[in-house]
Amino acid sequence: MPPKSLPTGVEIHSGMLRIWFMYKGARFRESLSAPPTPKNIRLAAEKRTSVCHAVRTGTFDYIEWFPESKNALKFSKPKQREITLNQLCSLWLELKRIEVTPATMKNYEQRLKQVRLYLDGNGLVTDITQASLLDLRKAFLESCSASTTNTYMRTVKGLIGFAIDNEYCEQRVLNGLKELKQDKTKPNPLSQSEFSRIIGSCLNDQDRNFWQVAVYTGLRHGELLALAWEDIDLEAGTITVKRNLTLEGIFKLPKTRSGERVISLLNPAIDALKQQQLLTFMYPAIEIDVLQREHGKLMPFFIRPVFSPRVTATRETKAYYFHTSIHDKWTAVCRRSKVTYRRPYQTRHTYACWMLSAGANPTFIANQMGHSSAKEIYQTYGDWVSEHTQDQLDILNTKYGKNAPYMPLKLNK
């Protein structure tokens, strides 16, 4: 028969001994699967004392003390699964393939290839430490800018985060892996005189039309290359942006929903497009496949490209330009015009800066450029917004300064 009183923390449940103890602010009970004999009661009390001591000293490991307990699953660390870095990269890339574009996939593959020049691809992921990743970041920074290094490390974080979620390594590997500080790259737009020199140095009408449309619409170059006469309404003065041409030569929908937009054309852009009509409007339509947002889905379309190398080609060629051709044209025209070289993408920045300088509403500019809100306009072109504060005040003073609404004085009774 068990004694009438039991030691603290020892109980009898369903005819068997069990102990209770406090751990992480909660009370836990564990059966010892032993009948309540005097000897077992004494052993139970001793075990309970040892458990409490381990909890107090921070050495308590639930699965060590109670390996058969369901409670142990809440606190135990499962044994990490073993996989090599090469295997992890292959697995992660294959799973990412269905959710990203081919261009993004190519970037992931190239970045992870560079990672494996520094980390042993045949080594186990469990051997990767925080120090390993900090050394990797340092190695990238020695040959790349802070911006490029951060881009590479974001991909690495995605890979290691996947490994952590699947128990290939521990969370602490990513602790303290912060992004490097980097200077904000400011836009470097063309001045009016530089733009005039660019236009004056073009070798043919189509090139002049292209750069004029680029500067006065703010279209991305991929959107310009994929632009078709079917997207343009010169009577209404609009362009409907429906597709983009990637660096790999793939037609796809704009990256975001806000990228699918209707642009209101300025007169210089309309003039250039009217000139371009004389060159390509009557060309026959070509069939293209446009990659949809649903993975792997292609939709066929018939389009007549606005800008075509066939205008000046002396032999059989594609009906539309690729990015490399536009980059080469830009490099050449900058050299001929003696304009300081900057990336061709600055034509888009030029549009935004010119519009802000003219006092255009940032929200209107954001819609024209395909941003979801004016936030990016303020972040990227904040200097141009602040520079024209006085101009805005002059406009407001001109409109309201001499026509302040009459406010009757309140008479004291």
Annotation: CATH topology of 192-395: hpI Integrase; Chain A (1.10.443)
pLDDT bucket at 374, cuts 50 / 70 / 90: confident
Q: Alpha carbon of 86 to those of 80, 91, 121, 152: distances in Å?
A: 17, 9, 5, 17
Q: Does residue 356 carry a pLDDT above 90?
A: no
Q: Which residue has the tokens 């406090």?
A: 22
The string of pLDDT tens digits covering residues 135-175 is: 999 999 999 999 999 999 999 999 999 999 988 888 889 98
- State residue 394's pLDDT score: 65
Tokens matching residue 381: 């072109």
Residue 205 in contact with residue 307, Cβ under 8 Å?
no
**Pick from 250, 300, 311: nearest CA to 278:** 311
Tell me if the pTM is above 0.85: no
Residue 38 in contact with residue 47, Cβ under 8 Å?
no
- β-strand partners of 23: 26
Tokens matching residue 60: 């308590």
- β-strand partners of 16: 13
- State residue 4's pLDDT score: 66
Angstrom distance (rounded) from CA 47 to CA 149: 54
Q: Where in the sequence numbering do the catalytic residues fall?
A: 220, 255, 348, 371, 381
DSSP state of 84: B
- State residue 382's pLDDT score: 73
Range from 225-229, 248-252, 370-374 carrying the lowest mean pLDDT: 370-374
Q: Which is more confidently placed, 231 or 395?
A: 231
pLDDT bucket at 377, cuts 50 / 70 / 90: confident
**How crowded is the C-beta side of 232, counted as CA atoms within 13 Å?**
24
Tokens matching residue 76: 């135990």
H or E segment and range at residue 253: none
In order, the DSSP letters of 355-413 are HHHTT--HHHHHHHHT-SSTHHHHHHHHHHHHHTHHHHHHHHHHHHTT-PPP-PPPPP-
Q: Does residue 406 carry a pLDDT above 80?
A: no
Q: Does residue 309 carry a pLDDT above 60?
A: yes
DSSP state of 340: P
User: What is residue 238's three-state secondary structure?
Assistant: strand
- State residue 314's pLDDT score: 86
Question: Per 3-state DSSP, what percentage of the chain is helix, strand, and coil (rounded to 5)?
Answer: 50, 10, 40
pLDDT bucket at 386, cuts 50 / 70 / 90: low
Neighbours of 62 (CB within 10 A): 20
Q: Which residue has the tokens 């409109």?
A: 399
Angstrom distance (rounded) from CA 194 to CA 340: 9
Angstrom distance (rounded) from CA 97 to CA 155: 14
Angstrom distance (rounded) from CA 206 to CA 275: 8
- State residue 115's pLDDT score: 94
Provide φ and ψ at 23, rounded to 5°.
-150, 125
- State residue 296's pLDDT score: 80
Name the pairing type of β-strands 286-291 and 251-252: parallel
pLDDT bucket at 381, cuts 50 / 70 / 90: confident
Q: Does residue 100 carry a pLDDT above 80?
A: yes
Residue 81 in contact with residue 49, Cβ under 8 Å?
no
Residue 173 in contact with residue 183, Cβ under 8 Å?
no
Tokens matching residue 159: 């890979």
Query: What number is the average pLDDT over the span 202-209?
Result: 96
- State residue 401's pLDDT score: 58
User: What is residue 145's three-state secondary structure?
Assistant: coil
Query: What number is the average pLDDT over the span 230-237?
Result: 96
* Domains 85-174 and 192-395 are alike in CATH topology: no
Neighbours of 389 (CB within 10 A): 9
- State residue 380's pLDDT score: 83
Query: What number is the average pLDDT over the span 225-242?
Result: 96
Q: Does residue 388 carry a pLDDT above 80?
A: no
Residue 222 in contact with residue 245, Cβ under 8 Å?
yes
**Pick from 130, 144, 208, 207: nearest CA to 172:** 130
Burial label for 163, CB within 10 Å (0-12, 13-18, 19+), is: buried
The string of pLDDT tens digits covering residues 58-80 is: 888 888 898 888 888 777 655 56
Query: For the chain, what is the largest distance between any 2 Cα atoms, rounded to a whole number of angstroms?
Result: 109
Neighbours of 255 (CB within 10 A): 17
Domain ranges of the chain: 10-75, 85-174, 192-395
Question: Which CATH number is 85-174 given?
Answer: 1.10.150
Query: What number is the average pLDDT over the span 13-26?
Result: 91
Average pLDDT along the chain: 88
Q: State what percent of residues in the chain have pLDDT above 70.
A: 90
Packing angle between helix 267-280 and helix 205-217, nearest 10 degrees? 150
Range from 62-76, 111-125, 208-222 carrying the lowest mean pLDDT: 62-76
